[in-house]
Amino acid sequence: MLAQPPPGMLASHFMTLNGPSPATFAARRQRVLDALDSAVLFIPVTEEAVFANDVHYAFRPDTNTRYLCGIEEPASLMLSRCGSDCDGFSLFVRPRSEQSETWTGKRVGVDGAKNTFGADHSYPGDVALETLRRTLKHARTLHYGFSRDHNLNREVAEMVHQANAERPREGGAPLVLADAAPLLAEWRQIKCEAELALMRKAAEISAQGHNELLARAHPGMNEYEVQAIVEYRFRASGCLGPAYGTIAAGGDRATVLHYTRNEFALRDGELLLVDAGGEYGGYCADITRTFPVGKAYTPAQADLYDLVLAAQHAAIDTVAPGTPFDAPHRAALKVLTQGLISLGILSGDADTCIESEAYKPYYMHRTSHWLGMDVHDVGRYRNDSGGPISLVPGMVLTVEPGLYFRADADVPEHYRGIGIRIEDDVAVSGNGHVVLSSDAIKERREIESLRARAF
Ligand SMILES: [Mn+2]
C-alpha cells in the first residue's frame, strides 16, 4: 500500500505550476454548475501522445479540464446537476501504482483527487464512461467535450442515442447532445484580473527573452541556439516551457509563416525573425520581433521594418472596448498597402489595392487572434449575422502585421528574401488597451543601438 501524500502539501505536484488558486478553480466550476439545468458536462481524458515506442511527449492536459481544475495528469472531468448520485464535481484519474510511479512519478490517485482538487466524487479513469452512462439517465442535456479520439466521440454519441431509445419506455424528456466547447469558450474569452496578471507575467518573461537576444545573437550562431536562449529565459523565470513551437528564422526562412526547423546558421546582412512566447501558470505569451543579425538594418530592410512597425502602431491604437474585432486588421492593411504603393511594390490607390487584395502575396495572414490558455485561444470572432464581434474589457488579442517577400517574389531585388513580423499581446481595458508585451524592444533606433553594443 502506498502512503497517501499529506493533504495539500503536494498539491503543486499535480496542479499547473504557478497557476490560479484553488478558489479560482472552485469559482469557475460553480459558474458552470449554476448554468447546468438538468445537464451534465463531461470532458474525456486526453491520453499521453507517443513520441516513440514507450516514450511519450510532455503531457499537456485538455485546456478546458485545466481551466476547470488545473490537473496536470490524464483525467476525465464531469460536472453534473441533474439529481443523480454523482451531482457536483467528479474526477476520473489514474489509480496509484507503485510500479508506474517508480517510472513516471507520483499520481494524485482516486483519494488524492478529493483533497487536492476539491472533487465531490472521484473514481478510477476506467469507470468514466460507465459512470457517465448512469448519470445520463437523469439528464436533459450532455455538454460533451469532443475529443481528438474519434472512437471515443462515436461511443459517447452512441450512448446518447441508446439513452434516447430507452426513454419512450422509461419516461423522461429526450437527451440532447451538445458541444461543451462553446459554453466554456464564452467564459475563457473574457479574462479576470487574476488571469490578466498571469498573462502579464508570461509576456514580461517572454519580452525579456527577446531583449536578451538583441545582446547575444551574432553571425554564425545557429537558429537552434537562438531558440535555446529565449527558451532558457522562459524556463529560468518560472515558465514550464514555450507556449508553442518557437520560430527562429534567419534570412528568407522568415517568409515561411510557421517555420520551426530552426537548424540553419545566421548570416550577417540578413534579418532574424523570432516568434516565441512562454507559458506561465497555464497562460500564453506570443511575441515576434525581427532584427538584424549584424549591427544595422540595410536601407531596404529598414524601409520594410518601419512600414510594418507603423502598421502595428496603427493597429494597436484601434484596440478599445466597443471596437469591432477586425479594426486592427483594417488599420494595419491600410498602412501596409499605402506603404507598398510608396515603395513601388504595388501600384494604384490604397483602397483599390485593399479591395482587390493586391497585398495578399506579401501579407497573407490576419493581424490578430485571441490569446489565453491556448496560444490560438478559444472565442468567437464573428456574431450570428457574420459581422465582427465587438471588443470588451478582458479580451486579449495579438496584433501582428508582417510582410513576406520570398526569394523568388516579383518585387525589386533588394526586397527579396525578407520576412518581417512584429507581434505584441494586447489586453482590452476599461477605456482602451494595455500592451502586455510592451517590455519587448521594437523601435528601430533602439534595436540598432543595442545591436551596435552587442559587437
Ligand atoms: Mn501569434
pLDDT-derived band at 8, boundaries 50, 70, 90:
very low
- What is the average per-residue pLDDT within 228-246? 97
Pairing of strands 39-43, 141-144: parallel
Question: Do 194 and 100 share a domain, yes or no?
Answer: no
Please determine, for residue 293, whether its predicted confidence score (pLDDT) is greater than 90.
Answer: yes
In Å, what is the CA distance from 302 to each residue of 98, 285, 310, 378, 445? 61, 26, 12, 35, 10
Please determine, for residue 9, whether its predicted confidence score (pLDDT) is greater than 50.
Answer: no
The three cell numbers locating residue 84: 443523480
Phi then psi for residue 180, to 5 deg, are: -70, -20
The pLDDT value recorded for residue 2 is: 55
Cα 448 to Cα 293: distance, rounded to the nearest angstrom: 11
Span from the CA of 367 to the centroid of ligand 1 (angstroms) = 9
The pLDDT value recorded for residue 346 is: 96
Question: Do 266 and 383 share a domain, yes or no?
Answer: yes
Span from the CA of 349 to the centroid of ligand 1 (angstroms) = 29
Residue 121, in any domain of the structure = yes
Span from the CA of 281 to the centroid of ligand 1 (angstroms) = 19
Residue 263, in any domain of the structure = yes
Residue 30, in any domain of the structure = yes
Kindly tell me the burial class for residue 320, based on how many C-beta atoms sit within 10 Å of its own C-beta (0-12, 13-18, 19 or more): middle
Question: Do 162 and 198 share a domain, yes or no?
Answer: no
Question: Do 281 and 426 share a domain, yes or no?
Answer: yes
Span from the CA of 369 to the centroid of ligand 1 (angstroms) = 7
Span from the CA of 206 to the centroid of ligand 1 (angstroms) = 13
Cα 381 to Cα 368: distance, rounded to the nearest angstrom: 10
Question: Do 173 and 195 share a domain, yes or no?
Answer: no
Of 131, 157, 187, at which residue does a domain stop? 187
Residue 439, in any domain of the structure = yes
Residue 372, in any domain of the structure = yes
Cα 77 to Cα 112: distance, rounded to the nearest angstrom: 15
Span from the CA of 423 to the centroid of ligand 1 (angstroms) = 7
End-to-end CA distance of the chain: 61
**Which residues are designated catalytic?**
54, 258, 275, 286, 365, 369, 376, 400, 404, 421, 423
Length of the chain measured in residues = 455
- What is the average per-residue pLDDT within 66-84? 96
Please determine, for residue 442, whether its predicted confidence score (pLDDT) is greater than 70.
Answer: yes
Residue 2, in any domain of the structure = no
Question: Do 171 and 267 share a domain, yes or no?
Answer: no
Question: Do 223 and 336 share a domain, yes or no?
Answer: yes
Please determine, for residue 83, whether its predicted confidence score (pLDDT) is greater than 60.
Answer: yes
Cα 351 to Cα 328: distance, rounded to the nearest angstrom: 16
Question: Do 250 and 118 share a domain, yes or no?
Answer: no
Span from the CA of 427 to the centroid of ligand 1 (angstroms) = 14
Of 136, 154, 187, at which residue does a domain stop? 187
CATH number of the domain that 21 lies in?
3.40.350.10
138-168 per-position pLDDT tens digit:
999 999 999 999 999 999 999 999 999 998 8
* Upper half-sphere CA count for residue 376 (Cβ side, 13 Å): 4
Cα 81 to Cα 88: distance, rounded to the nearest angstrom: 6
Q: String of b and e for 50-71 (b: at least 16 CB within 10 Å)? A: eeeeeeeeeeebbbbbbbbbbb
The three cell numbers locating residue 127: 469507470
Pairing of strands 287-292, 418-421: unpaired
Task: Specify the 3-state DSSP secondary structure of 397.
Answer: strand
Span from the CA of 401 to the centroid of ligand 1 (angstroms) = 10
11-45 per-position pLDDT tens digit:
567 999 999 999 999 999 999 999 999 999 999 99
Q: What is the mean pLDDT of the chain?
A: 95
Residue 1, in any domain of the structure = no
182-212 per-position pLDDT tens digit:
999 999 999 999 999 999 999 999 999 999 9
pLDDT-derived band at 230, boundaries 50, 70, 90:
very high
| Residue listed under C-alpha cell 447546468 | 36
pLDDT-derived band at 170, boundaries 50, 70, 90:
confident
What range does the domain containing 428 cover?
190-454
Of 117, 152, 187, at which residue does a domain stop? 187
Question: Do 346 and 255 share a domain, yes or no?
Answer: yes
Question: Do 160 and 199 share a domain, yes or no?
Answer: no
Pairing of strands 271-276, 287-292: antiparallel
The three cell numbers locating residue 75: 483525467
The pLDDT value recorded for residue 30 is: 97
Span from the CA of 175 to the centroid of ligand 1 (angstroms) = 39
The pLDDT value recorded for residue 4 is: 55
Least confident window among 14-18, 212-216, 285-289, 360-364: 14-18
pLDDT > 70 fraction of the chain, expressed in percent and rounded: 97
Question: Do 240 and 158 share a domain, yes or no?
Answer: no
Span from the CA of 22 to the centroid of ligand 1 (angstroms) = 30
Residue 85, in any domain of the structure = yes
Phi then psi for residue 151, to 5 deg, are: -65, -40
Question: Do 57 and 24 share a domain, yes or no?
Answer: yes
Q: Say how many domains are in the chain.
A: 2
